[in-house]
Amino acid sequence: MRHSCLLRFFLGAACLATVGLAGAQPRFEPEPDATRATEFIVLGTASGPNSEPDRAQPANALLAGGRLYLVDAGDGAVAQMAKAGLRIGGVDAVFLSHLHFDHIGGMLAVIGLRAQLGTPSTLTIYGPPGTQALVDGLLAAAAPALRAGWGFPGQAWDTDVAAVELRDGDSVTLDALVVTVAENTHFVVPAGDTSPRSAVSLSYRFDAADRSIVYAGDTGPSDALVELAVDLGRY
């Protein structure tokens, strides 16, 4: 008798949990307001391979002109966005400074959870050379889960992801936001070495209607970064 009551209790709890999950609404804030001042929200600062209990890896959110962008997406980026009241489905684009794991570790969650939410818009991922291969690999890793979907025959999740590789001096215009790229010196090249670069690290300058923001990612001393930051007369 006792086991029967316990079984009914657990079955009832499972039913309640299922109903709660099915009927729950995501706790997301409304879309960013186009009249809202441009903001750069730091989501994570714990660089390197070691995890920290109270800091996520490098990730940032940029709110500009009613659009939401991620600037780097280290491990924990999606959870940190939720703490900041930002919708993962609202991300329009991602800018990656370089392809070290602590700056890209959260990208599979960004892509997969947007697909699970049924986000219809294209997610464009900007980054240094190698970004296309990264995105191709992430989509291949996501393929089994996308095919599984909710488990119904003939039903799968879909996602639209594009990669754009950037180089020193490139510029991208997204609505009213102008993004300018400079290669910094995170990867040290020995003096006189003219062999092709195996890795590139980028800094970004974001020129919005009301302010300019420069993001360095990881770098050592860099004249190109200084020029990117101080040339305020271009816009």
In the predicted model, is pLDDT for residue 8 greater than 90?
Answer: no
- Whether 145 has a pLDDT exceeding 70, the answer reads yes
Q: How confident is the model at residue 5 (pLDDT cuts 50, 70, 90)?
A: very low
Q: How many residues does the chain have?
A: 235
Structure-token pair, residue 18: 């299922």
Which tens digit of pLDDT belongs to each residue from 29-58? 445 566 788 999 999 998 888 888 889 999
Between 25 and 220, name the one with better pLDDT. Answer: 220
Residue tagged active-site, from 72, 75, 92, 102: 102
Share of the chain above pLDDT 70, in %: 83
Q: What domains sit in the chain, N to C, each tagged with a CATH number? A: 32-186+197-234 (3.60.15.10)
pLDDT band at 150 (very low <50, low <70, confident <90, very high): confident
Q: What is the pTM of this model?
A: 0.82
The question of whether 231 is a catalytic residue gets the answer no
**Helical axes 131-148 vs 107-116, angle rounded to 10°:** 40
Does 23 have pLDDT greater than 80? no
Half-sphere exposure of 116 (CA within 13 A, CB side): 14
Read off the pLDDT of residues 152-170 as tens digits, 9 standing for 90 and up. 888 888 899 999 999 999 9
Residue 187 CB-half CA count within 13 A: 15
pLDDT for 73-124, tens place per residue? 999 999 999 999 999 999 999 999 999 999 999 999 999 999 999 998 999 9
